[in-house]
Amino acid sequence: MFDKLRDIIRHWWMEFTLQTKLMGAATLVVSLIVSGCTFWAVNTIQADARINDTRFGRDLGLLLAANMAPQLAENDLTSVAKFANRFYHSTSSLRYILYADDTGNIRLGIPFSESEVQNSLMIERRIHLPDTNGKKDNLPLVRQHQTPEGVVTDVFVSIDREDKFLGTLAIGINPNPTLVASTGLTRDVTIAVFVSIWVMVLLGAVFNALQITKPIKELLSGVQNIASGNFKQRIDLPLGGELGELIESFNIMAEKLEIFEEQNVDELTAEKAKLETLVTTIADGAILIDNNLQIVLANPNARRFFGWDHLDLDKTNILHVLPGSVSAEITRPLCQVAAGKIEGEEFRITLSQPIHRTVRVLITSVVDPVKENVRAIAMTIQDITREVELNEAKSQFISNVSHELRTPLFNIKSFIETLHEYGDELTQEERNEFLDTANRETDRLTRLVNDVLDLSKLESSHTYAFGAVELARSIEQTLRTYQLNAKDKGIELCQDIEPELPDIFGNYDLILQVLANLVGNALKFTKADGKVTIRAHRVSLPPEAGDESSNTVVRVEIIDTGIGIDPEDQRAIFDRFFRVENRVHTLEGTGLGLSIVQNIIEKHHTQVNITSAVGVGTTFWFDLAIHQPLLQPVENLQLVAANLDR
């Protein structure tokens, strides 16, 4: 029970603040000091009063002894009794008067009888005669004893007459009423002083709590609410003075902050929305992570790059969700950037999931305004797959062109040097053969340069004039160009043109170049006794959704019975510098013909298609819009665009 009470008191004491504990200890010390001083002062007054009572008793005893000595010398006890009785009743200060003779027998007792006095002295009061009785020049002996009414002063006086010891006079002095009252007053005053100090302290504490502490706590709560963003906080306390001014100033500050927030929250929200929209819509992936490598923000492109579309990335460690190859590559740089050892680093990484692509990862530290502490880390992910492919294509182009240019140039130089040095030794037939070879190599070099220039021109911003084109005339010119070549190879070259074929909308030279490239390829990959056909006819395309009218176009097909193209190669034959002959035979080419065809067909707002089977043959076909002479140019272009979409 005692331990439990002690724990309760300890817990109660620990709840107080240090300031309250110090105030309580100071109050206790002050109250004890003041109460002790009060107790000492009152006790000093009481001690002085007791000294005065002692002096009064001694003087009174000497006076009575002097008056009673003559009668006692004559052994006139009656006169002594009358005198003593009359003196006893004349004052209230005397409690008793006793007279004992020289033998110690009590001869007189007022207000008691001899026997009562004897019994009282011997039993109740225990008054004993002093041992010095009968001695000359003996001073009165004063003693005090406690009674229920207070402290009684006992005075013993020796009675002498002419150097003769007559006995001992004992008188009792009643307690001083003032002294008795002051005894209780000492206790009451001491307690009153102690209690008064604590009452004053408690009243001061209550006043402080109501007038000072409560407003300060209200101010503290208001400041905390303001710090948390609650600008509607107000303090309503009817106080004046400095505290009142402080509370009024706080309310004015809160009102101004509320107005400022209302005026700026919309603007801040709009700016935040702009930034979020900017981060969301940029083509690159953007990731923001904190110093603990936890993801704070990841825009949609970053999620798409790493396959995070359905993941909750909030407060997720980025190393736990990155692909293994990426995580292994950037773990160390990320930790170094987070520690402030480096400002950033750049990587090129190939991703295999969710789709195959090559990305550039740029890691940059985000520092505070004074550029001392790293606050976050920004990661930018750029898709450079197209750039890598272009670099590879450029490398392939340089390799192919270098090889293609080197071979004819070497042949031309070799035969010309031979003719120059040994021309007189060669026969006319050998000289003609050398010249013919140099001429063919020159033509080959010319074709290569022309193909490169044509493709560059098509991919540039060069504008071509479009108008009505008589497709049958373009086909006939192509047939005339390649008829001799087809005859030399034993290949049948023919046409299948629908009668009264309408003019198409396009560019004559570009269409002619498309037909020449496709027919040239067909002849190159078709064996002897094969057949190459150019077919042109009208086709009605199915109507689009919501459009009941059908659209008629002219479809052009180049059909051969050649070696065909493997399905694996069909997806790449339109890429620049890709050559099927590298896989199927040793015929040489630039690898630019079909890429040129595709660019030209795209400028006519359509696309080239392929159908092929290995060992059976290949068909290239595309659709061209019919020329509408009654339409305005703008409407004509809109129709072409519609045909492209179809």
* 188 and 289 housed in the same domain: no
Q: How far is CA 291 from the centre of its chain?
A: 11
* 167 and 235 housed in the same domain: no
Taking the whole predicted model, whether its pTM rises above 0.85 is answered as no
- Residue 448: inside a domain: no
Average pLDDT of the segment spanning 565-582: 69
Q: Would the pLDDT of 639 be above 60?
A: no
Give residue 259's domain range: 231-265
Q: How far is CA 336 from the centre of its chain?
A: 21
Q: How far is CA 66 from the centre of its chain?
A: 107
- Residue 605: inside a domain: yes
* 307 and 405 housed in the same domain: no
279 against 428, higher pLDDT: 428
d(CA 478, CA 521): 13
Q: Compute the chain's Rg from CA coordinates.
A: 66
- Residue 10: inside a domain: no
pLDDT given at position 284? 80
The CATH number of the domain holding residue 369 is 3.30.450.20
**Residues of the chain above pLDDT 90, percent:** 4
Please tell me the total count of domains within the chain: 5
Whether the Cβ atoms of residue 229 and residue 244 lie closer than 8 Å to each other: no
Whether the Cβ atoms of residue 107 and residue 99 lie closer than 8 Å to each other: yes
pLDDT bin (cut points 50, 70, 90) of residue 123 is very low
What does DSSP assign to residue 294?
B
d(CA 602, CA 612): 21
Residues making up the chain, counted from first to last: 646
Output the CA–CA distances (angstroms, integers) from residue 578 to 389, 460, 574, in the order listed. Answer: 13, 21, 7
- Residue 498: inside a domain: yes
- CA within 13 Å, CB half, 334: 25
**Tokens read off for 384:** 């450079």
* 257 and 317 housed in the same domain: no
Average pLDDT of the segment spanning 227-249: 71
* 101 and 244 housed in the same domain: no
d(CA 146, CA 49): 16
Q: Would the pLDDT of 586 be above 50?
A: no
- Residue 457: inside a domain: no
pLDDT given at position 537? 92
* 406 and 346 housed in the same domain: no
The CATH number of the domain holding residue 518 is 3.30.565.10
Bridge pairing between strands 94-100 and 164-173: antiparallel
Whether the Cβ atoms of residue 624 and residue 556 lie closer than 8 Å to each other: yes
- Residue 277: inside a domain: no
Using alpha carbons, select from 123, 129, 135 the residue that is nearest to residue 156.
129
d(CA 458, CA 576): 13
What distance, in Å, lies between the first and last C-alpha atoms of the chain?
Answer: 97
- Residue 93: inside a domain: yes
d(CA 260, CA 53): 86
- Residue 33: inside a domain: yes
* 239 and 346 housed in the same domain: no
* 133 and 189 housed in the same domain: yes
Q: Is the peptide bond before 111 cis (omega within 30 degrees of 0)?
A: yes
* 499 and 621 housed in the same domain: yes
Residue 370's Cβ-count burial label (10 Å; 0-12, 13-18, 19+) is exposed
* 148 and 195 housed in the same domain: yes
* 218 and 245 housed in the same domain: no
* 554 and 613 housed in the same domain: yes
d(CA 471, CA 505): 10
Q: Which of 276-285, 410-419, 486-495 has the lowest mean pLDDT?
A: 276-285
